Amino acid sequence: MDTNHIEALRSLVGDPARVILNPQIVEQLSRDFYWYSPVLRKLLDGKMGEVVVQPLSAVEIQGVLRFCYANNIPVTARGAGTGNYGQAIPLEGGVVLDLSRMDRIEEILPEGVAICQPGVRLGELENEGRKAGWELRCYPSTIIKASVGGFLGGGSGGIGTVAHGYLRDYQTVRALEVVTMEPEPRIVLHQGEAVHEILHAWGTNGIITKIWLALTPAVNWSQCIAAFDTFAAAFDSAEKIATDSGWIKRLVTVFEWPIPSFFTPIRQFVPEGKTLIFFMIASAQLAELEAAVRESGGTVTQSGEYPGLNARPLLSDYTWNHTTLWAMRSDEAYTYLQCGFDPDTVREQMRQLRERFGQEFLFHMEFMKNGEGRVIPGAIPVVYYTTEERLNDMIDFCREIGVFVANPHVNNVEGGGRYRADNVQLLAKLRYDPKGLLNPGKMATFHSESATAGAKTK
């Protein structure tokens, strides 16, 4: 890009201060949490955009994309940059489209659907929703920082998934609006099934500018930590509670020792050598839960009302992919995988993994509801990294014994395991981004020749 390009971008967004060239800021806004993966670290270190543009509206985005299309300039969308797979890291320079200033919650409809811009932080939406009697169905453990648009573009689930499934399930995303990367960029509304063309496509097939997100009635939550002598006893107890629909819960997480030893700020609740379960449970059921924990041989080490995201301790800060962060703080050789165990053979699968990899593969289990309504044992195991070959051995072995793996050590939509077999994300990219300028390199099955050929034969 040259100075003429920069001048043109400045004129397009009205306020020149929203076109940023400062190299430190450009670098900072080109990065995410890709360094969680030793494999991606090697691949992505040093990659960055050339300029940051901060739009305020879909119309401004149309102007920027029209200009970038005409001048073959890549554009990479960015929410809060908390993604783990280098999703928001530009591979070919160009514009980092920072959506953080489009942060307005437009409305929370009486039926519990929030209408908002993509830069709204999930924590803000949770807090505002609760004021109106609603709350998020599911959210990543990065809720305080992560944006709604980034969650749709690159996230999958988290706290609440045990009750409400993933973001992609149960029509949680009711509709969204995207701006396309065409000679004349359009604003297109995707509703119902059509949202799946855009969800989890890493910003490769359109810029999300407006979202209709279904919420759920707010619950008075409590948090609870239970300690068990053995992993087997903790897992049995957690599974019983997670799979029984009578319990109103938002989080059921099991950490085998030594994972709890990494949680330094809450060491007072972590007895040496024990397996822990972290729960978020309806306050009305807290006493009953504590009794159930004791009955199955556990001890409650901490419990109490959850006042919201300012809770201290905030247990969600240790769950989902925050667990990996605590492990890496203890020893930077730790990394992670994302797994789905078979609910019928999970104990045998875990036994085989332990036999094969010993303490290199530590069990961090997250119970989650799948699209068919069954609560299954998912996992974000903490694994000890030695070589890429050994990591791939672990992935291959998991798959061999029927454990699903969404590989977080690859930098494209397809490799991450969340790609849809019906190809709708690719088909949308062929229509909306024929030159392949949106987050280039991240949709491995896209080739711009096919898009151009498709256009010619239409």
277 touches 254 (CB < 8 A)? yes
Of the candidate residues 202, 263, 279, 318, the single one contacting ligand FAD (CB under 6 A): 202
Region from 44-52, 72-80, 260-268, 330-338 binding ligand FAD, contact rule CB under 6 A? 72-80
Contact between 277 and ligand FAD per CB under 6 A: no
Contact between 325 and ligand FAD per CB under 6 A: yes
Region from 59-67, 284-292, 315-323, 422-430 binding ligand FAD, contact rule CB under 6 A? 315-323
Token pair of 402 as six digits: 């029927």
CA–CA gap between residue 100 and residue 83 (Å, rounded): 15
Contact between 80 and ligand FAD per CB under 6 A: yes
Contact between 158 and ligand FAD per CB under 6 A: yes
Contact between 150 and ligand FAD per CB under 6 A: yes
Of the candidate residues 439, 440, 446, 451, the single one contacting ligand FAD (CB under 6 A): 439
CA–CA gap between residue 152 and residue 116 (Å, rounded): 12
CA–CA gap between residue 260 and residue 226 (Å, rounded): 12
Contact between 49 and ligand FAD per CB under 6 A: no
β partners of residue 226:
277, 300
Residues 6+ apart with CB under 8 A from 366: 161, 162, 252, 253, 319, 320, 377, 378, 379, 380
Contact between 93 and ligand FAD per CB under 6 A: no
Region from 73-81, 180-188, 368-376, 447-455 binding ligand FAD, contact rule CB under 6 A? 73-81
Smallest gap, in angstroms, from Cβ of residue 318 to ligand FAD? 10
CA–CA gap between residue 56 and residue 211 (Å, rounded): 15
DSSP 39-93: HHHHHHTT---SEEE--SSHHHHHHHHHHHHHTT--EEEESSS--SSSTT--SS-
Region from 13-21, 71-79, 298-306, 367-375 binding ligand FAD, contact rule CB under 6 A? 71-79
Report the residue number whose CB is nearest to ligand FAD: 150
Residue with tokens 């072995």: 397
Show the site string, 101-130: x = touches ligand FAD by CB under 6 A, - = not. -----------------x------------
Contact between 83 and ligand FAD per CB under 6 A: yes
Region from 185-193, 203-211, 216-224, 259-267 binding ligand FAD, contact rule CB under 6 A? 203-211
Smallest gap, in angstroms, from Cβ of residue 194 to ligand FAD? 15
Token pair of 258 as six digits: 């030594």
Contact between 147 and ligand FAD per CB under 6 A: yes
Region from 154-162, 220-228, 252-260, 394-402 binding ligand FAD, contact rule CB under 6 A? 154-162
Contact between 90 and ligand FAD per CB under 6 A: no
Of the candidate residues 61, 77, 234, 300, the single one contacting ligand FAD (CB under 6 A): 77
CA–CA gap between residue 392 and residue 60 (Å, rounded): 44
Contact between 165 and ligand FAD per CB under 6 A: no
Show the site string, 27-46: x = touches ligand FAD by CB under 6 A, - = not. -----xx-------------
Contact between 255 and ligand FAD per CB under 6 A: no
Contact between 156 and ligand FAD per CB under 6 A: yes
Contact between 155 and ligand FAD per CB under 6 A: yes
CA–CA gap between residue 32 and residue 442 (Å, rounded): 15
Of the candidate residues 61, 108, 195, 207, the single one contacting ligand FAD (CB under 6 A): 207
* Other beta carbons within 10 Å of 165: 21
Peptide bond between residue 381 and the one before it cis (omega within 30 degrees of 0): no
**Element (H or E) spanning 158, and its range?**
none
Handedness of CA 284, 290, 296, 301 (dihedral sign): positive
**Element (H or E) spanning 436, and its range?**
none
**Alpha-carbon distance values, 338 to 81, 85, 258, 418 (Å):** 20, 12, 19, 11
Contact between 86 and ligand FAD per CB under 6 A: no
Of the candidate residues 81, 129, 381, 436, the single one contacting ligand FAD (CB under 6 A): 81
Smallest gap, in angstroms, from Cβ of residue 153 to ligand FAD? 2
Given the complex with ligand FAD, which of 41 and 356 has the nearer CB atom? 41
CA–CA gap between residue 388 and residue 393 (Å, rounded): 9
Amino acid at site 367:
F
166 touches 184 (CB < 8 A)? no
Contact between 88 and ligand FAD per CB under 6 A: yes
Contacting residues toward ligand FAD, per CB under 6 A: 32-33, 76-84, 87-88, 99, 118, 140-142, 146-147, 149-151, 153-158, 202-203, 207-208, 320-322, 325, 439
